[in-house]
Copies of this chain bind each other. A is one copy, B any other.
Amino acid sequence: MEDNQAAERPARPMLGRGHIVATALAMLDARGVDAFSMRKLGGALGADPMAVYHYFPNKAALFDAVVEAIYIAIDTTGPVPDAWDEAVATYLYAARTVMRAHPGALALIATRPVNTVPVYALLEVIAARLARAGARPTDAIAMVHCLATYAVGQVLADVGAPVGGPEAPPPDPATFDPSVIPTLVAAMEGGWAFDPDAVFDTGLRAMIAGFGSRYGLADQT
């Protein structure tokens, strides 16, 4: 019931939730969750370490706001192809692009579900497109969930900053015994290199195609 508006603003400081979230996200992207601290955030904001607590009750609440900000940055309002499968792929690519831009926050995204209307609205867009192609609502939601977890898992493996300290450097492949991993060795020969973009696309298309035949999805003509 406290609904009095803020008609005038004091001098310069005025942190504000949006500014705090943006600064925290930049810090996370630069150095990961482990290196993040509320005290450094205060420093980056040019304020007392404790100033943030006026806007967020604790670090967890701030992280929830960061995750939501990332979800909201996923834009689904642009034009998409007419075909249902291409449209769904386009939405997932949009999500991937935004998530890849925030490597240090990925562990938060993967681990802190945000149950808010903006996030639901994002899922709704994809679910609605699947429903329009003939899926029942419950099946559409299951499919969106599968596609979303796949995208998160891919991006995490691709660019995700490690939780719990820096990761160990990979060992010299030459020390491996080829006889225990023949398929892997065979793939490496010929100068083949792992391409995250191509691999993401392969799995995404496979899952979408699989859903299509499983549920008989098709565009009305």
Residues of chain A whose beta carbon lies under 8 Å from any beta carbon of chain B: 33, 58-61, 63-64, 106-108, 110-113, 115-117, 120-121, 123-124, 127-128, 131, 137-138, 140-143, 145-154, 156-157, 160-168, 170-171, 176-177, 180-184, 186-187, 192, 194, 198-200, 202-203, 205-211, 213-214
Contact = CB atoms under 8 A, between A and B. Distances in A.
A176 to B, nearest CB: 6
**Secondary structure class of chain A's binding surface, majority of residues:** helix
B117 A167 contact: no
Given A124-B182, A149-B157, A156-B111, A164 B60 contact: yes
Given A156-B149, A207-B207, A177 B63 contact: no
8 contacts: A64-B167, A107-B111, A108-B163, A143-B202, A145-B157, A146-B200, A153-B156, A203-B207
A203 B164 contact: no
A95 to B, nearest CB: 12
Contact of A164 (B63, B170, B186): B63
Number of this chain's copies in the assembly equals 2
B203 A206 contact: no
Contact of A183 (B106, B127, B153, B214): B127
Contacts of A111: 106-107, 156, 160-164
B184 A110 contact: no
Contacts of A166: 60
Contact of A168 (B64, B192, B205, B206): B64
A138 to B, nearest CB: 5
A87 to B, nearest CB: 15
Given A117-B176, A210-B205, A153 B163 contact: no
A211 B213 CA distance: 13
B181 A120 contact: yes
Given A192-B138, A207-B203, A207-B210, A115 B171 contact: yes
A126 to B, nearest CB: 9
A154 B146 CA distance: 7
Given A111-B160, A124-B181, A202-B214, 16 more contacts: A110-B160, A112-B167, A113-B167, A117-B177, A137-B184, A140-B187, A143-B203, A146-B199, A146-B200, A150-B207, A205-B210, A206-B207, A206-B209, A207-B210, A209-B210, A209-B214
